């Protein structure tokens, strides 16, 4: 076994760390307050090659692997989890699925602009009555000649309002329970409407809206994969996406630990730094230890994916461990900083608000436990 990162991965980590420190961290609070999509930094991620990680060079990508993506997602999340969230929705949930399931024509048409960050990608499965239970979506796609006619509403969609291209799912009614099918939808299609925008607790730079389909005409050539392949495509996309969310959790937990640890060394009460109390230092020791475990699980999930070995169980374990840890690290971080951690001018409160989402989207912690326990009982 080799726990060391390759020189290439170390170089990428250092480059993303520097970019995150110089360009992302300084504007993280501003975009959190204004709830605006950080378009300049999104385009800058394109120039750095981050929006094309894990996409082969022939399509303009960086030709890197999922471990590289996990490292980049972690480093971005340390500075601004929303920026990592935006990259995940764009790359893991839209660009990569088009690369993995798209035909030659679709790859040629959509990948270059997405990879260069000239267009923004999004992903829509969730509906008002279909959250954890994605099989219960009600959106329909009825074939009429050389088009499908889509009807339905996708809710909460990350990057939705700023997206140019989205991978969405609808049922083809005549196929019954096996009818879920994936489609690539583009701005300007008749009957494709950007709906309600959301005001959120955290991850506020990653903007969300509903995607509304009212007799939306989607050409046959925009179907992604085969009719009825949608559920398999969706589950596979979510597996890859969970590596990204696990990495977000690791980055957030690291940020909370760094801040809590340095604060606890500087803050004196009763004549000594607060870190000299076991009540504080043991909290930090637990988070430090669990962070190492969460990072290893996350890297292992990416490593398995890169070797084309089954990785969905490991991705679920990584997401569960890393995102619950992010919430714990941020909660304890606020506690360790006392009133100062509760104030809006401390980034700790942002970590706390951002961390909560990581335990909810792309499968809640309960859903990850379902995946893990099913694998265990099947075994």
Least distance from ligand FAD to the Cβ atom of residue 115, Å: 19
d(CA 228, CA 153): 20
151: burial class by Cβ within 10 Å (0-12, 13-18, 19+)? middle
d(CA 24, CA 258): 17
d(CA 60, CA 197): 32
Of the candidate residues 16, 28, 89, 153, the single one contacting ligand FAD (CB under 6 A)? 89
d(CA 140, CA 145): 16
Binding mask 148-167 for ligand FAD (x = CB under 6 A): --------xxx---------
Of the candidate residues 27, 212, 357, 371, the single one contacting ligand FAD (CB under 6 A)? 357
Q: Quote the tokens at residue 262.
A: 């340095």
d(CA 46, CA 117): 5
Of the candidate residues 213, 362, 368, 371, the single one contacting ligand FAD (CB under 6 A)? 362
Residue 156 vs 183, nearer CB to ligand FAD: 156
Question: In sequence order, which ranges of 49-90 are alpha helices (DSSP H)?
Answer: 66-79, 81-87
Residue 61 vs 241, nearer CB to ligand FAD: 241
Residue 59 vs 123, nearer CB to ligand FAD: 123
Q: Choose the catalytic residue: 214, 332, 362, 366.
A: 362
| Longest Cα–Cα distance in the chain | 79
d(CA 107, CA 29): 36
Least distance from ligand FAD to the Cβ atom of residue 62, Å: 23
Please tell me whether residue 305 binds ligand FAD under the rule CB under 6 A: no
Please indicate whether residue 362 is annotated as part of the active site: yes
Least distance from ligand FAD to the Cβ atom of residue 81, Å: 11
Binding mask 30-69 for ligand FAD (x = CB under 6 A): ----------------------------------------
Q: Residues binding ligand FAD: what is the number (CB under 6 A)?
A: 21
Q: How many residues does the chain have?
A: 379
The backbone torsions φ and ψ at residue 53, rounded to the nearest 5 degrees and listed phi first, read: -60, 145
Residue 131 vs 195, nearer CB to ligand FAD: 131
What is the number of other CB atoms lying within 10 angstroms of the CB of residue 140?
A: 16
Residues 103-132 that bind ligand FAD (CB under 6 A): 123-126, 131-132
Alpha-carbon Rg of the chain, whole angstroms? Answer: 21
State the catalytic residues. 362
Using CB under 6 A as the criterion, which residues of the chain lie in contact with ligand FAD when the complex forms? 89, 123-126, 131-132, 156-158, 200, 203, 208, 357, 360-364, 366-367
């Amino acid at each position: 076994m080799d726990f060391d990162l390759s020189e290439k991965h170390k170089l990428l980590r250092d480059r993303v760390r520097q970019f995150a420190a110089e360009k992302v961290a300084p504007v993280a609070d501003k975009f959190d307050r204004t709830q605006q999509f950080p378009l300049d930094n999104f385009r800058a991620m394109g120039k750095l090659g981050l929006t094309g990680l894990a996409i082969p060079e022939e399509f303009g990508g960086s030709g890197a692997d999922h471990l590289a993506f996990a490292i980049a997602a972690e480093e971005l999340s340390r500075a601004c989890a929303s920026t990592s969230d935006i990259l995940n929705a764009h790359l893991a949930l839209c660009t990569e699925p088009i690369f993995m399931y798209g035909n030659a024509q679709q790859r040629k048409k959509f990948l270059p602009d997405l990879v260069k960050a000239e267009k923004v990608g999004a992903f829509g499965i969730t509906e008002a009555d279909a959250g954890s239970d994605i099989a219960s979506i009600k959106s329909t796609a009825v074939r009429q000649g050389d088009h499908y006619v889509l009807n339905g509403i996708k809710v909460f969609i990350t990057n939705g309002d700023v997206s140019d291209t989205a991978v969405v799912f609808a049922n083809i009614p005549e196929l019954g329970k096996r009818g879920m099918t994936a489609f690539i939808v583009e701005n300007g299609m008749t009957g494709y409407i950007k709906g309600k925008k959301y005001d959120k607790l955290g991850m506020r730079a990653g903007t969300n809206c509903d995607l509304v389909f009212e007799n939306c005409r989607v050409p046959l050539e925009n179907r992604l994969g085969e009719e009825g392949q949608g559920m398999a495509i969706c589950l596979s996309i979510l597996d890859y996406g969970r590596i990204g969310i696990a990495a977000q959790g690791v980055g957030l937990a690291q940020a909370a630990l760094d801040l809590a640890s340095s604060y606890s060394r500087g803050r004196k009460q009763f004549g000594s730094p607060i870190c000299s109390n076991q009540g504080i230092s043991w909290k930090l020791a637990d988070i430090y230890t669990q962070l190492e475990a969460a990072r290893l699980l996350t890297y292992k999930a990416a490593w398995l994916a890169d070797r084309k070995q089954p990785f969905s169980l490991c991705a679920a374990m990584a997401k569960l461990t890393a995102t619950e840890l992010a919430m714990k690290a941020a909660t304890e971080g606020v506690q360790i900083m006392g009133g100062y951690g509760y104030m809006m001018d401390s980034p700790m409160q942002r970590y706390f608000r951002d961390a909560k989402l990581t335990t909810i989207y792309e499968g809640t912690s309960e859903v990850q436990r379902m995946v893990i326990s099913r694998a265990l009982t099947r075994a």
